[in-house]
Amino acid sequence: MQLRKRFLAAALVGVLSGVPAANATLILSGSSATTFSGYNSQPATVTGTLSSGYFGTLGALDAGTVTFTYLGNESGDVNRFNFAVGNQVLNESSALGTAISGTVGSGALAFSFTDLTRGSTFANGSRAMVYVPNVTTTAFGSFRYVIGFNDNGSSDGDFDDFVVGVNFASVPEPGALALLGLGLVGLGLSRRRSGKA
Q: Where are the domains of the chain?
A: 2-19+175-196, 26-171
Give the H or E element holding residue 30.
strand 26-35
Q: What is the pLDDT of residues 117-159, one digit of tens each?
A: 999 999 999 999 999 999 999 999 999 999 999 997 666 789 9
Half-sphere exposure of 64 (CA within 13 A, CB side): 25
153 CB-contact burial (10 Å; exposed 0-12 / middle 13-18 / buried 19+): middle
Half-sphere exposure of 162 (CA within 13 A, CB side): 32
The overall pTM is greater than 0.95: no
**Which band of pLDDT confidence, cut at 50, 70 and 90, is reported for residue 180?**
low
More confident residue, 137 or 20: 137
User: Cα separation of 142 and 144, whole Å?
Assistant: 7
Percent of the chain with pLDDT over 90: 70
